[in-house]
Amino acid sequence: MSTAAPTSPSRTPAHPATPPLRPQVTGALNTWVADGWTVTWRNLSKIKRSPDMLLFAVLQPIMFVVLFSQVFGGAIDVGGDLDYTSFLMAGIFAQTVVFGSTFSGAAMAQDLKEGLIDRFRTLPMNPSAVLVGRTNSDLVLNGISMVIMIATAWVLGWRFTNGFWSFLAGVGLLLLFSYAFSWVMALLGMMVRTPEVINNASFMILFPLTFISNAFVQAQSLPGPLEFFANWNPVSALVQAARELFGNTGGVPAPDTWPMQHPVVTVILGAAVMLAVFVPLAVRRFGRTTSR
């Protein structure tokens, strides 16, 4: 008499693991969103392996707020009925988020140097997903920096006086500008040869933009040519918009130039132009750039 061999339960072939938190989507637009989110998560997860990145991202804004407010607070008269700490905060916020947008350029230059961009091109993903993920992760880091700076400034006595929703609009405007500017730096990061070059190049661009502005002193106190540059400087418009939304103008009238009289509109239009120009330029450059 023969006995039937025991049968084992059938097994379903295992499917590849899905990246953490990747949305399950279909369609071209949804796939693009999913690819961008996957790269964003990849960039943010690097913080776990390099916690010093987050540490310095937190310590730098604290240092700026404390040093500038305490060192220059008693030496600079900004006019009106505004103390220097209240005047300064919008400028510090703008400087920090603009400097934070340089991470995109440095990271793109580093990925190109290590050959990671070539590996990304071999994957079945939207070409712009790498750039979207890079700029999105920097937006998150800038958001964290903003929270830390606001908490530090609050301890030092800074207050917004124009209502909570106006305050949120000011924070959103700062982050919008930083996100648009990160695309400029991402393009620059793909045009240089090493991460060291992008650091030097970004400082040559950002130092004039942030220091020849109304971030730390009233533009009216600058010499003639520098005052003209400051009044038409996009960073000055960003600072002026944040001051007005936070209620930190102290009754001092804005200079009689279009960007200073309409700073919110200027920042929104400037961010839209940067995105319209530099997003396609960066994506096109990404498709042509090869690792060094």
The tens place of each residue's pLDDT in the chain, 292 residues long, gives: 444 444 444 444 444 444 454 445 456 667 667 777 777 777 777 766 766 666 776 787 788 788 887 777 666 777 767 788 888 899 999 998 898 888 888 888 877 777 777 777 777 777 778 888 888 888 888 898 889 889 988 988 889 989 999 999 999 999 999 999 999 998 888 888 677 788 788 888 888 899 999 998 888 889 989 999 999 999 999 999 999 999 998 778 889 999 999 999 999 999 999 999 999 999 888 877 655 5
- pLDDT, position 278: 94
What pTM does this model have? 0.82
Q: Say how far apart CA 195 and CA 200 lie, in whole Å.
A: 9
Say if CB 283 and CB 127 are below 8 A apart: yes
Helix axes 164-191, 263-288, angle to 10 degrees: 30
- pLDDT, position 5: 45
Say if CB 289 and CB 117 are below 8 A apart: yes
245 token code pair: 């939304």
Helix (H) or strand (E) run with residue 15 in it: none
- pLDDT, position 11: 42
- pLDDT, position 108: 81
* Residue 136 CB contacts under 8 Å (≥ 6 apart), including other chains: 36, 37, 40, 43
* Residue 189 CB contacts under 8 Å (≥ 6 apart), including other chains: 104, 105, 106, 107, 108, 109, 112, 195, 198
Q: Say how far apart CA 147 and CA 93 lie, in whole Å.
A: 10
- pLDDT, position 269: 96
201 token code pair: 């190049």
Say if CB 170 and CB 245 are below 8 A apart: yes
Report the 10 Å Cβ neighbour count for 288. Answer: 7
- pLDDT, position 231: 94
